[in-house]
């Protein structure tokens, strides 16, 4: 059965001054935004990206090229406007919110008192997933609520589309473990270089992820998505999953960033399958395994720019493309209004 909104948007595109289908994926992207928003006149005017930050106990295993202090230092950089996400968000006219859901350490008052900084710390980083559950189920739920809250704030503020990004040294290990658990992907196919680690650290990272998944598989014989998210996830990954779940409830499009954000999306899909309909995957990362995971999810990323930074940078580049798609649908003239001759009917 055809969705009336879907058909109405197809009809609108076909009346525009262009050959049918000539705007390619821009047409289907605008159609999907309309399906989510429930209108044949979809809008992407007010835009926001939420960057969730947290530390990871697994850094004690030597799985990253950078010390965990970089998480806190980079969040300060976000607040100063000096990071890549700041530049791209400003260029795209995108509002930026930073959420501390579990950074080890505190911030100066100028950061904590910023209106776009949210102090929602669940703990001083997760526990070491190689040796014990990263968080309790209650802590996981608390982190998810921090994400749900951001979706509600965005809805209250009239935001049309929301992107998710993250910052957390060690979080590619957590994401890889989640992917290995959710999709039974061999560790060597899913564990990558993250921050740019060498061969020795890569081998250690693979060993740690393999050990974590095996240990938690023994403990949790029955697969429960939220239990796995708590066992080997991260506060920021849980928060992004929570945002996706709430955004689906609010009929709000979500633009997923890269490898880590995709882990949150995969968890959200397991928790609430209907969340799949609201997610756009911004780009394919060069991080090992991202292509494999996107294929497993049946996702069609908007961009391929050989990026692997995180922070929401891929989402910041993809959101203006979605905005352009909806503006074309809204503002292009029709053959009739422009006085342009339409296609010659076949047989004439």
**Hey, which residues are catalytic here?**
311
Per the CB < 8 A criterion, the answer to whether 190 and 288 are in contact is yes
For the record, the structure tokens of 267 come out as 């968890």
Tokens of 105: 């350490």
d(CA 258, CA 52): 13
């Amino acid at each position: 059965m055809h969705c009336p909104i879907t058909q109405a948007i197809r009809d609108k595109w076909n009346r525009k001054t262009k050959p049918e289908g000539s705007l390619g994926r821009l047409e289907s992207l605008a159609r999907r935004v309309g399906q989510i928003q429930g209108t044949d006149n979809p809008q992407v005017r007010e835009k926001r990206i939420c960057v969730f930050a947290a530390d990871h106990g697994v850094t004690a295993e030597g799985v990253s090229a950078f010390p965990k202090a970089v998480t806190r230092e980079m969040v300060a950089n976000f607040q100063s406007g000096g990071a890549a996400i700041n530049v791209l968000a400003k260029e795209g006219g995108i509002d930026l919110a930073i959420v501390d859901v579990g950074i080890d350490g505190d911030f100066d008052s100028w950061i904590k008192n910023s209106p776009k900084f949210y102090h929602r710390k669940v703990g001083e980083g997760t526990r070491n997933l190689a040796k014990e559950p990263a968080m309790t189920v209650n802590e996981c739920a608390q982190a998810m609520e921090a994400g749900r809250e951001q979706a509600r704030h965005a809805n209250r503020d009239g935001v049309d589309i929301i992107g998710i990004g993250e910052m957390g040294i060690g979080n590619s290990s957590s994401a890889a473990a989640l992917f290995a658990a959710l999709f039974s992907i061999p560790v060597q196919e899913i564990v990558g270089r993250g921050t740019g680690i060498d061969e020795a650290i890569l081998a250690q990272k693979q060993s740690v992820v393999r050990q974590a998944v095996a240990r938690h598989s023994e403990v949790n014989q029955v697969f429960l998505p939220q239990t796995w998210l708590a066992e080997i996830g991260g506060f920021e990954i849980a928060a992004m999953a929570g945002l996706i779940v709430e955004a689906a409830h609010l009929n709000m499009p979500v633009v997923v960033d890269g490898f880590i954000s995709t882990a949150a999306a995969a968890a959200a899909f397991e928790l609430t399958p209907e969340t799949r309909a609201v997610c756009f995957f911004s780009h394919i990362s060069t991080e090992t395994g991202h292509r494999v995971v996107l294929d497993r999810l049946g996702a069609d990323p908007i961009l391929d720019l050989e990026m692997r930074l995180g922070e929401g940078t891929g989402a910041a580049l993809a959101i203006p493309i979605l905005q352009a798609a909806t503006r074309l649908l809204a503002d292009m003239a029709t053959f009739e209004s422009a006085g342009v001759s339409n296609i010659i009917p076949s047989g004439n």
